[in-house]
């Protein structure tokens, strides 16, 4: 809106310019000054009278105030009007008029006219705007309980009361629609603007922060009012748990009915597109337990959810696969993991095993008794045993030096 204008725009009439602002703005109940004066004149002029008139909506000019240099001022409605600078007996050059207790009906075009001799009448026009600054508030709109239709419902209210002219209201939420109404305000000539933000209830809208923007020409900047939506909505349903790997014979499979709902759900109902649930399916509230996957599970399941506002449902089609030939992939993976762990364990034990074997072998050879008091053993068994070859071990004990076999009768004859 336009701002108060302080500059004076003269209306040129011959050689004399009557100085008056093109527009003046005032607020209801306040005092406003309609300025009107003559500039210093280069030639002698006698002002015989100054008058103010107001143009009505019908186009007629009504007298508002008159000032005569000798008789003083005259007002059809005394008490609200006063000439600011003009005084009886003084030279009349300033006909500025003060208007108190501003009313809405004071808004009009005003004409200031000087009657001068010998120049005649000279005038200027001023548009008086009467404003009222509104009071603003925003709040959530309570959605009435009961079943909802798919039509948008009011979820927030923004009110601008007592404005003149009416305020302009807009909302920041793009998915909503504003329904505005205009009613008379508390004071005559003022207006109340009521804006309702409407939308279709959904989980996406619940908890959203929206902003009501109020604009008025009396504001230096727009007023922003924030509201957090509290939107109830019927159940929004989806089904999870099916991984596209249900095969014949599988046991303990589960479908989950996932729900977003405000208020909370009051009931779950599981069924199929063919009708009731198969015998191997058991409804457990928001879960559907499949005891054993068989041919009857090859169907489309439906989860139907109810809350205080309405219902919602979702479907899930299950396709049963043939059982896996031989070992299942899970068993194969487990066997492979176990085999890998065992192999790594055995490889890690090899160094320990060979070290222990070597120590055992050396210990065995260390304690072999000396075969005889031959030169091979004159250093003792401790020096000899580790140097024994594999051949010597095979022929132990060594044969006697005589050619007579051990244990023959000839040895007894001696």
Q: Where are the domains of the chain?
A: 11-131, 135-231, 234-317
| Predicted local distance difference test score (pLDDT) of residue 2 | 40
Q: What percent of the chain has pLDDT over 70?
A: 76
pLDDT at position 392 is 42
Q: What is the separation, in whole angstroms, between the first and last Cα of the chain?
A: 151
Residue 386 has pLDDT above 60, yes or no: no
344 conformational bin, left if phi > 0, alpha if psi -120 to 50, beta if neither: alpha
What value does the mean pLDDT take over residues 244-261? Answer: 93
What dihedral angle (degrees, nearest 10) is formed by the CA atoms of 75, 79, 83, 84? Answer: -170
pLDDT at 57: 84
Beta carbons within 8 Å of 134's beta carbon, 6+ residues apart: 160, 161, 162, 163, 167, 190, 193, 214, 216, 218
Which two tokens mark 300?
A: 């489309």
Structure confidence at residue 41 (pLDDT): 75
Lowest average pLDDT, out of 112-116, 217-221, 347-351, goes to 347-351
pLDDT higher than 60, residue 395: no
Mean pLDDT computed over 92-110:
95
Average pLDDT in the 83-93 region?
A: 91
CA angle 393, 396, 399 (to 5 degrees): 140
Residues 278 and 270: their CA atoms lie apart, in Å, by 11
* Phi then psi dihedrals of residue 107, to 5 deg: -70, 120
Of 356 and 240, the one with more pLDDT:
240
As a whole number, mean pLDDT of residues 349-374 equals 52
In this prediction, residue 175 has a pLDDT band, given cuts at 50, 70 and 90, of: confident
Burial group, residue 86, by CB count within 10 angstroms (0-12, 13-18, 19+): buried
Residue 134 clears pLDDT 60, i.e. is over it: yes
Whole-angstrom Cα distance, residue 22 to residue 40?
20
| Percent of the chain clearing pLDDT 90 (strictly above) | 58
Burial label for 239, CB within 10 Å (0-12, 13-18, 19+), is: buried
Q: Give the integer Cα–Cα distance in Å for 127 and 9.
A: 12
Judge whether residue 414 has pLDDT over 50: no
CATH of 234-317, picked from 3.40.50.300, 3.90.850.10, 2.60.40.10, 3.40.47.10, is 2.60.40.10
Q: Quote the pTM value.
A: 0.64
Binning pLDDT at 50, 70 and 90, where does residue 146 land?
low
Report residue 328's pLDDT band, with 50, 70 and 90 as the boundaries: low
CATH number for region 135-231:
2.60.40.10
Per-residue pLDDT, 396: 46
Please give the backbone phi and psi of residue 168, each rounded to the nearest 5 degrees, phi first.
-110, 125
Domain 11-131 architecture: Sandwich (2.60)
Fold agreement (135-231, 234-317): yes
Does the structure show a pLDDT above 50 at 14? no
> Taking residues 229-245, what's their average pLDDT?
93
Q: What is the pLDDT of residues 26-72, one digit of tens each?
A: 999 999 999 999 988 767 888 999 999 999 888 889 999 999 999 99
pLDDT digits (tens, 9 = 90+) for 188-236: 999 999 999 999 888 899 999 999 999 999 999 999 999 999 988 889 9
Predicted confidence band of residue 147 (pLDDT cuts 50, 70, 90) = low
Please report which confidence band the pLDDT of residue 79 belongs to, taking 50, 70 and 90 as the band edges: confident
């Amino acid at each position: 809106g336009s701002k108060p204008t302080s500059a004076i725009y003269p209306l040129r009439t011959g050689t004399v310019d009557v100085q008056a602002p093109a527009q003046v703005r005032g607020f209801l109940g306040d005092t406003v000054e309609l300025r009107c004066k003559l500039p210093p004149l280069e030639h002698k002029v006698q002002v015989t009278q100054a008058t103010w008139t107001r143009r009505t909506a019908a186009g007629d000019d009504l007298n508002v105030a008159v000032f005569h240099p000798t008789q003083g001022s005259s007002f059809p409605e005394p008490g609200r009007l006063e000439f600011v600078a003009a005084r009886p007996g003084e030279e009349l050059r300033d006909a500025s008029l003060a208007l108190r207790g501003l009313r809405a009906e004071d808004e009009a075009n005003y004409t200031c006219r000087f009657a001068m001799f010998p120049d005649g009448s000279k005038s200027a026009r001023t548009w008086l705007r009467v404003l009222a600054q509104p009071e603003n508030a925003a709040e959530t709109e309570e959605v009435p309980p009961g079943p909802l239709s798919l039509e948008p419902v009011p979820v927030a209210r923004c009110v601008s009361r007592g404005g003149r002219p009416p305020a302009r209201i807009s909302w920041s939420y793009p998915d909503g629609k504003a329904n505005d109404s205009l009613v008379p305000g508390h004071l005559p000539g003022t207006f109340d603007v009521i804006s309702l933000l409407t939308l279709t209830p959904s989980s996406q809208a619940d908890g959203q922060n929206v902003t009501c923007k109020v604009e008025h020409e009396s504001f230096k900047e727009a007023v922003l009012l924030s509201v957090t939506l509290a939107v109830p909505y019927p159940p929004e349903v989806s089904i999870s748990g099916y991984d596209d790997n249900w095969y014949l014979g599988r046991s303990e499979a589960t479908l989950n009915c996932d729900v977003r709902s405000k208020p909370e759900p009051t009931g779950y109902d599981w069924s199929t597109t063919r009708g009731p649930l198969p015998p191997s399916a058991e409804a457990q509230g928001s879960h559907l337990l499949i005891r054993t996957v068989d041919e009857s599970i090859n169907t489309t399941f439906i989860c139907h959810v109810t809350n205080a506002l309405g219902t919602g449902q979702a479907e899930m089609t299950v396709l049963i696969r043939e059982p896996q030939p031989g070992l299942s992939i899970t068993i194969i993976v487990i066997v492979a993991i176990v085999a890998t762990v065992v192999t790594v364990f055995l490889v890690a034990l090899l160094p320990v095993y060979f070290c222990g074997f070597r120590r055992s072998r050396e210990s065995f050879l260390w304690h072999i008794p000396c075969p005889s008091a031959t030169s091979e053993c004159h250093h003792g068994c401790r020096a000899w045993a580790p140097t024994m070859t594999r051949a010597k071990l095979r022929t132990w004990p060594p044969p006697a030096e005589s050619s007579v076999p051990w244990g023959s009768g000839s040895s007894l004859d001696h």
